[in-house]
Structure 1
Amino acid sequence: MPAISMFYRIIIYMYFMDNKQHHKPHIHAKYQNSEVIVAIPDGEILEGAIPNAKMKLLSAWIEIHQDELMANWELAISGQQLYKIEPLR
């Protein structure tokens, strides 16, 4: 499960071959002991939760990097190496 970005103590992951359970392109975001799974590119929460303020930051980041996230998703589901994505600044 490669980490593809990190900002404001939020760590963003994409798992390889992870298109079975949620059937949508998505990311996993961890903040402290919380995790949320968020669909890309629409930002729908599929599972879990992180604090509201952190979720707003994550949503903004997803919106900015939709194209890169979808490109990484295609790589991830085919088991290829993912690219790092710029953090939110």
Structure 2
Amino acid sequence: MYYNDNPPPHFHAKYGENETVVAIETGEILAGWLPPRALGLVEEWRERHKAELLDDWRLAEQREPLVRIAPLE
């Protein structure tokens, strides 16, 4: 997540040299590409942490420090 990003609320996910931009609410891919297996893991993580991601989005809009979100275990 970056402080200067525009709506809709989203986050960036990287895997190797690939990157995608994922809408927090819907999981829609807004840009980029990840291999299917990696994208599946990103989707699982997004579903588990949707509320935290939205909280961080609001913090980013206010230029406040973001709260670290745990990775998948």
Figure out how many residues of one structure are paired with residues of the other and give that number.
73
What runs of 5+ residues in structure 2 fail to find an aligned partner? none
Aligned pairs for 1:1-89 within 5 A: 14-19=1-6, 23-89=7-73
Q: Scaled by the length of structure 1, what TM-score is found?
A: 0.79
SS in 2 for 1:85: coil
Structure 1 residue identity aligned to 2:60: A
Higher relative contact order (CA 8 A, sep 6+): 1
Percentage of identical aligned residues: 45
Decide which structure has greater strand share: 1
Q: Scaled by the length of structure 2, what TM-score is found?
A: 0.95
- The RMSD of aligned alpha carbons is 0.7
